[in-house]
Amino acid sequence: MTERRTPTSAAARHGTLWDRAVLALDANWTGTSTVPSRTLYPHQWSWDSAFIAIGLRHVSPVRAQVELETLIAAQWGDGRIPHIVFNPDVPLDAYFPSPDFWRSSGAGRAAGAPRTVQTSGIVQPPVHALAAWLVHRADPALSRSRGFLTRVYPGLAAWHRYLLHRRDLGGGGLASVVHPWEQGMDNSPCWDAPLSRVTPAPARTFRRADLEHGAADDRPTDLDYGRYVRLAMDYRDGEYADGQGQFAVEDPSFNALLAASEHALARIACELGAAGTARHARAERLTAALVDRLWDPAAGMFFGRDLHGGRLVEEYTVSGLIPLILPALPRDVVAALVRTACGPHFGVGDQVRLAPSYDLLGAAFDAHRYWRGPAWFNTNWLLERGLRLHGEHARAALLRAALLDTAGTSDFAEYVDPYTGAGCGARGFGWTAALTLDLLGERTSG
């Protein structure tokens, strides 16, 4: 696939950074999808591919389309898009949990797991319809000639049906995650309380491949990892049926991304000649449910709801800021969220270079440990988008500049110290490079 876009005028002024980002994505390209990292993450990840497609649209719209088409081709019959699509050419011991742990084609048979490709059985945040719409808008003529939206729309609609119906475990109109890995912010302190009731799998029953590529002090503890493994084993052994596990949380960012993608799916429907009114209305109902069930006005923050305990998990994490991406968020909620983002808990625009993943004042804050303090490029990209959406252009511009500077100086790190910008985890990371391209590229109407 040789089609390649030249940089826009804005990108040309940062030519070296643009070229480096393109090279990082090229190095991670497999021919049909992009791995997040050749070392630590050698397969296709669901929300990574969505963010990667958003960046690739500026360089190769065809490759961006193929990225999403490859992912959706591994969709299960019940509508779920799995969080990992495994490359059969990668050795089993390169990543854990590996395909032989998930046993998707067997344990997932009742849920319609594909027979010809091995996947995980859990999901990740639903960024995909938003990504598909942005990819289409990058080159509508090419998209129409390839029938891109016609191909992906049925799968995206089934994906949203799955989340809106089978995952509404609390009955309040929001989707629930049944494993911390599903929300994407795997090791966040907001999971500590819901995970505390889970008996961990014994350490001798699994091998942590992640510790071969990252410092133990930066990664989840063995205790937490044992709980992750136990939840995944129980879900697998229950044939991936929803609503039976020990863990179920309504998360703010997961549902905000679902609502944003529902708006995008409405635009896709209109492009294909159908009415999008019902989908826009559904997105606004999701927004209202998010405020009703997860907003704490006294804290000025969205918190996750632990469905087993029935209470909000009152931890300040970046997940609670992501609803800023929603256009129908009430004005008073927007104003309070901006105050929280720029206040002492997150320090955006003042104390830190990028928004941390967790409360700067929190007892569990660690500037380097996975999702317990470091800053991530995808969450900051979403915050920048939300700030612009709600007219906070000066703050958005400062965050955009910090993102670009940190991407370059960290060699497109997986995540960074929020204070210093020092890189942690993998380098040449897929979504960091891709979202750098998006910030550099000429903005396409969304």
pLDDT band at 206 (very low <50, low <70, confident <90, very high): low
Confidence of residue 444 (pLDDT cuts 50, 70, 90): very low
pLDDT-derived band at 370 (thresholds 50, 70, 90) equals confident
Grade residue 154 by pLDDT with cuts at 50, 70 and 90.
Answer: very high
Other CB atoms within a 10 A radius of the CB of residue 203 amount to 13
* pLDDT (mean) for 112-139: 98
Catalytic residue among 186, 192, 222, 284: 186
**Residue type at position 110:** A
**pLDDT of residue 443 exceeding 60:** no
Q: For the residues 19-43, what does the mean pLDDT come to?
A: 96
Q: What is the mean pLDDT of the chain?
A: 93
pLDDT tens-digit profile of 155-183? 999 999 999 999 999 999 999 999 999 99
Q: Is 414 a catalytic residue?
A: yes
3-state SS, residue 256: helix
- pLDDT attached to residue 191: 95
- Per-residue pLDDT, averaged over 415-441, amounts to 96
**CA pair distance 390, 403, nearest whole angstrom:** 19
What number of other Cβ atoms are within 10 A of residue 141's Cβ? 8
Is residue 170 within 8 A of residue 353, CB to CB? The reply is no
pLDDT at 37: 95
Active site residue 284: no
| 389-412 residue pLDDT tens | 999 999 999 999 999 999 999 999
Mean pLDDT of 93-115: 95
Mean pLDDT of 140-144: 98
Confidence of residue 445 (pLDDT cuts 50, 70, 90): very low
Strand order in the sheet with 311-313: 176-177, 249-250, 304-306, 311-313
| Per-residue model confidence as pLDDT tens digits over 49-92 | 999 999 999 999 999 999 999 999 999 999 999 999 999 999 99
200: left (phi over 0), alpha (psi -120 to 50) or beta: beta
Between 12 and 232, residue with greater pLDDT = 232
- The reported pLDDT for the residue numbered 76 is 98
Per-residue pLDDT reduced to its tens digit, 221-272: 778 889 999 999 999 999 999 999 999 999 999 999 999 999 999 999 999 9
pLDDT at residue 93, rounded to an integer:
86
Q: What mean pLDDT do residues 359-368 have?
A: 96
Which among 251, 359, 414, 417 is annotated as catalytic?
Answer: 414
Three-class SS state of 1: coil
Measured CA to CA, the distance from residue 414 to residue 424 in angstroms comes to: 6
Please give the average per-residue pLDDT across 139-151, as a whole number: 98
Q: Is the pLDDT of residue 190 over 60?
A: yes
Preceding peptide of 97 cis, ω within 30° = yes
Q: Please state the length of the chain.
A: 446
